[in-house]
């Protein structure tokens, strides 16, 4: 997995992940170094909870510090705000996070639920996670909110 | 009772194993619901595994439960227990039960079985004379032996005798030994198990039985049983040769007699030696009355074995549903189920076939005797006798009547197979005689029903679900078939590792690796792979078991499931529960007050756990360190409730307080819990210690259960509760405290190293080489030569233990993980909502959230 598949380089920094919706505002989350590599962290913007994941750096290009993905922190299958506490990994090369409650697996790139583990989402929640755009500006992670 | 116009009413008289098989077979095949079946059992319980009666001593009623109990909840099935049938009216087609109720039938099956025969020896009705047939018999025998023991001064043994040296007599002798009574077997004939085994086998068998501490007196007729002068209980056996034997208890096991009194009274023909006469369709003279099992006189005789009875049940079901099945003749193969004594025979064991050739291999020193009976050209297998090593029995028995491959049939008798050719069983060979499953059916389960392992094949075919003697052969057939079908039995963990957990454990240990990066680089499937939610926790557990420091140190922290990562248990609303260790369930009043005060201050819901400690629910991530600090300051530590690791060692109060306790169970439980705390394992581990045989700690429901005896400790392994409850089985007896620790050390380390991912001890013991006996050989006799290594590994674990909570509190870098939001570290999750119930709070349901009856958000704490 290299960053090129999902990123576009902008003048201001690097952007990862997008679900195609327009970004209405950019919110500052934390320093990139606040995140433990290969673990998630939750960020709170008003009442919106976002799960941030910092993946290992590309061994060929260690300077970029590794890609960062943002998805909703709400786990659709348990209804709890816990996605940031899942284990990150890969399925067929796609970076993933596993829900810590009932172990569904989601793509960090598209938010798609890859493994439903014989469960249905709570209420009428969609099974896939929404994703948020991420930009790193001067070592600070910014999240694009709709 | 359901008896609609369409369905016919089938009445089964008798609630034994064969009755159960008949109902099972009917329900499996009668899809259209043509029959409603009512079973009348004389015993006050559902059918049980009478063949395994001796197991009742060790494992209690569930040890001999038979089949799926859901059968009796089937709407097409009615079971009346404790309801003997008194008479049959064939004219009116009704039966009358002991309460006088009359039940109509369309079809009637007699499955009344046998009763134990009582030979007309004077004194056979004295108190203390028992038979061995039902759970009630066995329970009465146990009660008698225990009562005798109590009435004797300590150390004076209870002396027992068994009249009859057949299969049943030996099992009864085994039962007496299990009750710690002396046992002497009195046999009228020339040798033990005379029906199944020839003289040579009988002599080897005698040595084995003697080796179990059981006396044998062959060629001895008992002339009378004499009462004890003072008690009037049975006190002495007098023999025809003038010999005498003082006894406290006698079990008579000289044979069985068919329970054909109903058939006689109903005017049905009975055989010369009793039994309702049936034809090969198992039908009596009356076209609507059938007989199966031991009460059926088929081909001129009654057969006292379960397998032919089951076959009869299948025949009757087939007939009831319009089929034309016939009884194919009895498979009289038998295997003695006495622990530590292997005896099996099948076919023409006595070589009565004309010109039969016998091939014998004997090792008198080891008490091993093996014999094959072959046709005159020494090729076709006619029968066999195995004493002391029944290993070849499972694979040879199905070859009965077939030609053995290879030139030298004696090769099959040599130890370890001696290079005998691999047996390719014909499809029609009967592998499981209890359930009549052929080799072809087992192969079909793999090739046509997509079964990929032995449990799957067992469920699909029922092979090996009754006595289990054929399981090694079933496994071999399944493995061969899978291999042939090109189905590789994948033990790969996930897409990142081709190895199983056990293989990975060994690989990591031998290669001396200490990080996931190194493990995945060395043993992973692809370059640059970083693992996933399956292999990472496995690697985390392996690294922790091998002692690599705190589980949150460095890269290890990225491998942990959220429970281990937060050192607490995730709950449904995203908060965690906190469980401090209370070793052995012991806690001081000060400790209780601290726990109560902490729960109160942080607004936590408290509940007593099943493992004798206190769980505090509803802690948010950012609160965890503050909660731990309060607990650690008061002397508590992590209880590892979150880990795949030792949870608790449950105990009863033991000899320090209890009137009945014989050892200090709390002291031992505390010692065990402190020794094994924090030990990471393939799945959670639970232990229990009971201070006497009353077993108040329910230790046999644990992975490791310790039960005090007046000589030391018995240790049981492989128990669990949950969805598939298992009683732990005896691993070793009367150990000193030191021996106990060493045994458990080795057992746990062996398990940690070789079990599969998320495999608890019970299924592990089933799958590991040699089963429980194999485990015993490894940990008690060091058969693999690894005990020094296991001991050293456990010593390292004990030495390097640290409290995981305290270590976090002392390390700011680790503490940083316990923030709720990266941009608001002390902010509470705004989604949390609670309602009050019975004086405490609990998460609000989605309905309560929707209707707004929620009483509080996350900030409920009452803390000032």
Helix (H) or strand (E) holding B291: strand B289-291
Among chain A residues, the shortest Cα distance to B566 is held by A85
Give exposure, B372-397, as e/b (b: 16+ Cβ within 10 Å).
bbbbeebebbbbbbbbbbbbbbbbbb
pLDDT of residue B568: 97
Cα torsion B842, B847, B849, B854: sign: negative
> What residues of chain A lie within 8 A of the CB of B517, using their CB?
none
Mean pLDDT of B201-229: 89
Same domain? B377 vs B395: yes
Over residues B306-331, the pLDDT tens digits come to 888 988 999 999 999 998 888 888 77
CB within 8 Å: B829 and A91: no
Q: Where are the domains of chain A?
A: 15-138
- Asked whether residue B474 is assigned to any structural domain, the reply reads yes
Which residue has better confidence, B612 or B49? B612
Q: Which range has the top average pLDDT, B81-95, B473-487, B493-507?
A: B81-95
Secondary structure of residue B227 in the 3-state scheme: strand
CB within 8 Å: B831 and A82: no
Q: How confident is the model at residue B601 (pLDDT cuts 50, 70, 90)?
A: very high
Same domain? B669 vs B787: yes
Over residues B723-750, the pLDDT tens digits come to 778 899 999 999 999 999 999 999 999 9
Which residue has better confidence, B663 or B54? B663
- Asked whether residue B602 is assigned to any structural domain, the reply reads yes
Same domain? B615 vs B735: no
CB within 8 Å: B536 and A89: yes
Q: Do residues B203 and B362 make contact, with C-beta atoms less than 8 angstroms apart? A: no
Same domain? B680 vs B757: yes
CB within 8 Å: A123 and B537: no
CB within 8 Å: B561 and A87: yes
> What residues of chain A lie within 8 A of the CB of B827, using their CB?
44
Same domain? B416 vs B363: yes
Same domain? B656 vs B794: yes
The interface pTM score, or ipTM, of the predicted complex is: 0.87
B854-to-B424, B832, B847 alpha-carbon distances in Å? 69, 10, 10
Among chain A residues, the shortest Cα distance to B525 is held by A92
Measured in angstroms, the CA of A80 and the nearest CA of chain B are apart by 5
Among chain A residues, the shortest Cα distance to B561 is held by A87
CB within 8 Å: B530 and A89: yes
Q: How confident is the model at residue B533 (pLDDT cuts 50, 70, 90)?
A: very high
Which residue has better confidence, B551 or B63? B551
Mean pLDDT of A9-33: 65
> What residues of chain A lie within 8 A of the CB of B573, using their CB?
80
CB within 8 Å: A1 and B830: no
- Asked whether residue B495 is assigned to any structural domain, the reply reads no
CB within 8 Å: B536 and A44: no
Is pLDDT at B764 greater than 60 in this prediction? yes
How many domains, in total, are found in chain B?
7
Same domain? B683 vs B824: no
CB within 8 Å: B565 and A98: no
Same domain? B172 vs B290: no
Q: Which range has the top average pLDDT, B66-75, B433-442, B556-565, B826-835?
A: B556-565
pLDDT of residue B862: 44
A80 in contact with B at a CB cutoff of 8 Å? yes
- Last residue of a domain, which of B229, B253, B277? B253
CB within 8 Å: A34 and B561: no
Q: Do residues B396 and B420 make contact, with C-beta atoms less than 8 angstroms apart? A: no
CB within 8 Å: A90 and B531: yes
Q: Do residues B529 and A95 make contact, with C-beta atoms less than 8 angstroms apart? A: no
User: CB B826: neighbour CB atoms within 10 A?
Assistant: 10
Give the range among B131-145, B261-275, B475-489, B670-684 with minimum mean pLDDT. Answer: B475-489
Over residues B365-380, the pLDDT tens digits come to 777 888 888 888 888 8
Percentage helix, strand, coil for chain B under 3-state DSSP, each rounded to 5? 35, 20, 45
A79 in contact with B at a CB cutoff of 8 Å? yes
> What residues of chain B lie within 8 A of the CB of A98, using their CB?
532-533
Which residue has better confidence, B502 or B598? B598
Secondary structure of residue A77 in the 3-state scheme: coil
Same domain? B82 vs B16: yes
Q: How confident is the model at residue B864 (pLDDT cuts 50, 70, 90)?
A: very low
Is pLDDT at B452 greater than 90 in this prediction? no
Report how many helices (DSSP H) and strands (DSSP E) chain A contains, helices first: 0, 12
Share of chain B above pLDDT 90, in %: 55
Among chain A residues, the shortest Cα distance to B845 is held by A79
- Last residue of a domain, which of B457, B487, B517? B487
Residue B77 domain boundaries: 8-114+258-320
Same domain? B620 vs B726: no
Interface of B with A (CB under 8 A): 495-496, 528-537, 555, 557-562, 565-566, 570, 572-574, 817, 819-824, 827, 829-831, 846
A103 in contact with B at a CB cutoff of 8 Å? yes
Over residues B674-721, the pLDDT tens digits come to 999 999 999 999 999 999 999 999 999 999 999 999 999 999 999 998
User: For residue B746, what is the DSSP state?
Assistant: H
From the options 1.10.420.10, 3.40.50.1110, 3.10.20.30, 2.102.10.10, give the CATH code of A15-138: 2.102.10.10
> What residues of chain A lie within 8 A of the CB of B536, using their CB?
87, 89
Measuring CA to CA, which residue among B340, B316, B445, B373 is closest to residue B19?
B316
Same domain? B526 vs B588: no
Burial of B786 (0-12, 13-18, 19+ CB in 10 A): middle
pLDDT of residue A3: 36
- Asked whether residue B120 is assigned to any structural domain, the reply reads no
Measured in angstroms, the CA of B832 and the nearest CA of chain A are apart by 9
Q: Helix crossing, B17-29 with B306-320: angle to 10°?
A: 30
Among chain A residues, the shortest Cα distance to B846 is held by A123
Q: How confident is the model at residue B347 (pLDDT cuts 50, 70, 90)?
A: confident
CA angle B373, B377, B378 (to 5 degrees): 35
Is pLDDT at B251 greater than 90 in this prediction? yes
């Amino acid at each position: 997995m290299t960053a090129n598949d999902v990123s576009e380089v902008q003048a201001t920094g690097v952007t990862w992940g997008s679900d195609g919706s327009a970004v209405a505002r950019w919110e500052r989350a934390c320093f990139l170094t606040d995140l433990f590599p290969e673990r998630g962290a939750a960020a709170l913007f008003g009442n919106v909870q976002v799960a941030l994941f910092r993946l290992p750096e590309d061994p060929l290009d260690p300077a970029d510090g590794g890609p960062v993905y943002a998805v909703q922190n709400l786990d659709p299958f348990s209804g709890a705000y816990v996605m940031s506490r899942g284990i990150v990994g890969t399925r067929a090369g796609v970076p993933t996070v596993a829900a810590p409650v009932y172990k569904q697996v989601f793509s960090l790139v598209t938010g798609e639920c890859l493994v439903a583990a014989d469960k249905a989402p709570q209420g009428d929640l969609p099974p896939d996670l929404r994703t948020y755009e991420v930009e790193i500006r001067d070592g600070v992670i910014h999240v694009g909110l709709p | 009772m359901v008896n609609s116009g369409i369905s016919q009413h089938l009445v089964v008289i008798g609630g034994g194993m064969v009755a159960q098989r008949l109902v099972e077979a009917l329900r499996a095949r009668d899809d259209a619901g043509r029959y409603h079946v009512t079973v009348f059992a004389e015993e006050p319980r559902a059918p049980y595994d009478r063949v395994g009666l001796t197991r009742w001593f060790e494992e209690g009623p569930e040890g001999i439960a038979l089949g799926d109990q859901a059968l009796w909840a089937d709407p097409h099935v009615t079971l009346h227990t404790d309801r003997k049938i008194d008479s049959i009216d064939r004219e009116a087609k009704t039966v009358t039960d002991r309460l006088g109720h009359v039940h109509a039938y369309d079809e009637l099956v007699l499955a009344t079985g046998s009763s134990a025969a009582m030979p007309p020896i004077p004194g056979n009705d004295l108190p203390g004379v028992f038979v061995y047939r039902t759970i009630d018999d066995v329970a009465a025998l146990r009660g008698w032996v225990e009562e005798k023991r109590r009435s004797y001064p300590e150390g004076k043994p209870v002396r027992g005798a068994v009249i009859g040296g057949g299969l049943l007599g030996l099992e009864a002798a085994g039962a007496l030994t299990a009750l710690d009574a002396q046992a002497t077997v009195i046999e009228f004939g020339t040798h033990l198990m005379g029906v199944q085994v020839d003289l040579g086998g009988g002599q080897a068998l005698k040595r084995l039985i003697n080796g179990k501490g059981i006396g044998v007196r062959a060629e001895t007729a008992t002339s009378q049983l004499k009462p004890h002068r003072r008690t009037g209980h049975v006190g002495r056996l007098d023999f025809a040769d003038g010999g005498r034997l003082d006894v406290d208890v006698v079990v008579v096991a000289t044979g069985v007699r068919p329970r054909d009194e109903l058939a006689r009274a109903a005017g049905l023909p009975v055989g010369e030696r009793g039994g309702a006469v049936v034809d090969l369709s198992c039908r009596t003279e009356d076209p609507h009355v059938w007989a199966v099992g031991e009460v059926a006189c088929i081909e001129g005789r009654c057969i006292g074995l379960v397998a032919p009875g089951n076959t009869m049940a299948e025949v009757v079901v087939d007939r009831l549903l319009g089929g034309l099945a016939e009884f194919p003749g009895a498979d009289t193969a038998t295997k003695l189920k006495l622990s530590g004594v292997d005896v099996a025979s099948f076919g023409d064991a006595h070589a009565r076939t004309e010109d039969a050739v016998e091939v014998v291999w004997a090792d008198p020193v080891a008490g091993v005797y093996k014999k094959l009976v072959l046709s005159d050209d020494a090729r076709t297998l006619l029968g066999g006798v195995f004493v002391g090593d029944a290993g070849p029995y499972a694979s040879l028995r199905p070859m009965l009547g077939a030609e053995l491959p290879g030139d030298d049939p004696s090769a099959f008798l040599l130890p370890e197979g001696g290079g005998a050719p691999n047996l390719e069983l014909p499809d029609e060979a009967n592998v499981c005689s209890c359930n009549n499953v052929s080799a072809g059916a087992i192969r079909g389960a793999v090739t046509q029903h997509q079964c990929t392992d032995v449990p799957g094949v067992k469920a699909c075919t029922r092979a090996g679900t009754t006595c289990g003697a054929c399981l090694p052969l079933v496994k071999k057939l399944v493995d061969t078939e899978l291999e042939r079908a090109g189905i590789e039995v994948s033990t790969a963990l996930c897409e990142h590792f081709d190895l199983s957990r056990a293989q990975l454990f060994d690989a990591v240990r031998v290669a001396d690796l200490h990080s996931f990066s190194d493990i995945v680089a060395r043993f992973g499937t692809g370059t640059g792979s970083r693992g996933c939610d399956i292999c990472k926790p496995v690697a985390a557990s392996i690294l922790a078991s091998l002692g690599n420091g705190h589980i949150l140190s460095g890269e290890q922290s990225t491998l942990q499931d959220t429970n281990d990562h937060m050192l607490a248990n995730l709950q449904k609303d995203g908060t965690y529960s906190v469980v401090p260790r209370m070793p052995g369930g012991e806690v001081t009043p000060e400790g209780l007050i601290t726990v109560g005060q902490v729960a109160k201050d942080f607004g936590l819901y408290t509940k007593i756990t099943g493992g004798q400690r206190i769980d505090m629910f509803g802690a948010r991530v950012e609160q965890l360190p503050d909660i731990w600090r309060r607990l650690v300051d008061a002397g508590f530590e992590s209880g590892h409730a979150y880990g795949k690791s030792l949870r608790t060692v449950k105990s009863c109060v033991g000899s320090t307080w209890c009137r009945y306790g014989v050892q200090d169970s709390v002291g031992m439980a505390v010692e065990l819990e402190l020794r094994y705390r924090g030990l990471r394992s393939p799945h959670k581990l639970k232990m229990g210690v009971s201070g006497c045989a009353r077993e108040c700690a329910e230790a046999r429901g644990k992975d490791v259960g310790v039960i005090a005896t007046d000589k030391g400790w018995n240790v049981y392994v492989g128990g669990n509760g949950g969805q598939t409850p298992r009683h732990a089985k005896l691993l070793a007896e009367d150990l000193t405290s030191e021996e106990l620790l060493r045994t458990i050390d080795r057992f746990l380390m062996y398990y940690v190293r070789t079990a599969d991912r998320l495999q608890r001890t019970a299924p592990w013991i089933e799958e590991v080489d040699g089963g429980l006996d194999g485990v015993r050989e490894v940990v008690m006799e060091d058969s693999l030569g690894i005990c020094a290594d296991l001991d050293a590994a456990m010593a390292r674990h004990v030495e390097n233990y640290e409290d995981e909570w305290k270590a976090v509190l002392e390390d700011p870098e680790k503490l940083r993980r316990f923030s709720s939001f990266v941009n608001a570290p002390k902010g509470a999750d705004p989604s949390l909502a609670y309602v009050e119930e019975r004086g405490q709070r609990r998460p609000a349901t989605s309905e309560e959230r929707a209707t707004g009856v929620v009483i509080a958000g996350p900030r409920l704490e009452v803390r000032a």
